[in-house]
Amino acid sequence: MLHSTWRGYFRRVALATALGAVAAGLTAVTPLAPSAAAAGTLQQVTGFGSNPGNLAMYEYAPAKLPAGAPLVVALHGCTQSASDYHTHSGWQKFADQWGFAVVYPQTGPANNSLSCFSWFDSTKDTRGRGEAASIMQMVDTAVAQYGSDRRRIFVTGLSAGGGMTADLLADYPDVFAGGAVDSGIPAQCATTQTAASGCQYGNQNLSPKQWGDKVRNSYPGYSGPWPRVAVWQGSSDTTVAPVNGTELRDQWTDVWGIGQTASSTRNLTGGTTESIYDDGTGKPAVALFSVSGMAHGLAVNPGSGADQCGSTGTYYLNYICSSYHTAKFWGLDGRGDQGGTGSLPAPPGLTVTGTTGTGASLSWNSVSGAALYNVYRNGTKAGSATGTTYTDTGLAPGTSYSYTVAAVDSSGAVGASSAPVTATTTGTAPRCYTANNYNHVQAGRAHQSGGYTYANGSDQNMGLYNVAVTHTLRETSPGYFVIADSGC
């Protein structure tokens, strides 16, 4: 479901609205408290910027999220909402398990009668404009709040949210390390609402280069690195024709400068075929997941298994946990940049044995066949050890870091990653101050202009200059303050 001009769609939507209002995203969400957001709950964030696209921002982060963790942006489909997507998609499970924050942009009837993101409107889905610009403001706000790793920001979306995801990847390849388009449309397939139906239902008969040019022309002069893109498409989708999956594959393989012949193919659960397209270094750049028999929606697979997630509902279909495989494709499972192509199991017993103001010491149990072990800090390789201990140095005081370890065999193949552990260095963390906007200005932590308050250093908009609005500011360096309402 993508925009309000579809013929025949309204009959389906009327039934879905009447019978599935709760599944369509009418769950209430607690707004972000002025002083601090509660970790482990979905919260609304206000005052995240000028918001030219008239969107709402919601966010979720697990308790004690360490600095330097990844950030995922997840966009709902038509007739849905942020809370609906959070409830059904499965992203919360993996945010808790692997340690990352999730931002859920939300559109509504004021923008589109069916609450669709405007992937087909060049005034709203291009770099620096409309909804795309609002989502970038959300990213900047979340990065400041959580201290997210700007090298590991990802975006995913369903249907119209998938179409907007493709546009965002094209508009901001300098921001997003990867993306996933679920039952969506290639980047910039349509630039007007009247052209949208043609993209949904038919083959555009464009060459891979022509598709790739739509990405390259979205940010002229940019030459890479490009985001790693996963594409999910049901073979029985009558709302977004399956050819869109092929066109997305063509588009992003051409951007990467690789062919359209898969480097590897395998069968997964739920009738899913995974086709991987490697870059020049042999690392997966594009993945196409074709789900046999699946209609229009997001693939979920309720259950308690490691590779299961989500719950069924309107446009949430029980086939396979797409969020799990997408997160693995991006490396959010803690493997970071190591690839994980080897057969060695995850090292058990990873433990923090000690910390100082600038270091953390780790130990783990050995793995048979391991030549050495790679140690990853916040998903990025920190170093290697031939034994089962490692001390990481050069860290910031009073700061939490997430660590995983993977065994490497004699051929250099890296095995599965351990479960993560968190180490917090000793000493004093960056100072935080909670006050109303007026007092922040009086104390020299912020300034006011035009009736609004802005944090010194970061210039983040804190809202109206008065005593009724309260924020927590974190001083990350002398005189540089960022909004830290989610906790310090």
Beta bridge partners of 232: 182, 289
pLDDT digits (tens, 9 = 90+) for 240-277: 999 999 999 999 999 999 999 999 999 999 999 999 99
User: Phi and psi (nearest 5°) for 172?
Assistant: -130, 60
d(CA 238, CA 236): 6
Given a cut of 70, whether residue 204 has pLDDT beyond it is: yes
Cα separation values, 160 from 4, 77, 153, 292, 453, Å? 11, 5, 20, 21, 35
Residue with tokens 């050995």: 366
Which pLDDT band holds residue 179 (cuts at 50, 70, 90)?
Answer: very high
CA separation, residue 199 to residues 6, 64, 136, 456 (Å): 12, 43, 25, 46
Q: What are the strands of the beta sheet with 461-464, ordered from one edge? A: 446-449, 452-455, 461-464
Mean pLDDT to the nearest integer, 469-479: 83
Q: Reduced to 3 states, what is the DSSP secondary structure of residue 436?
A: strand
Check residue 282 and give its pLDDT. 85
Catalytic positions are 159
How far is it, in rounded angstroms, from Cα 410 to Cα 396?
34
Least confidently predicted of 27-36, 79-88, 255-264: 27-36
Neighbours of 410 (CB within 10 A): 9
Confidence band for 65, pLDDT divided at 50, 70 and 90: confident
pLDDT digits (tens, 9 = 90+) for 122-149: 999 999 999 999 999 999 999 999 999 9
Mean pLDDT on 324-328: 95
pTM value is 0.69
pLDDT tier at 335, thresholds 50, 70, 90: low
Q: Are 226 and 255 in contact (CB under 8 A)?
A: yes
Measure the CA angle with vertex 433, ends 431 and 439; round to 5°.
Answer: 145
User: Does pLDDT of 340 surpass 60?
Assistant: no
Nearest of 84, 53, 225 to residue 159 by alpha carbon: 84
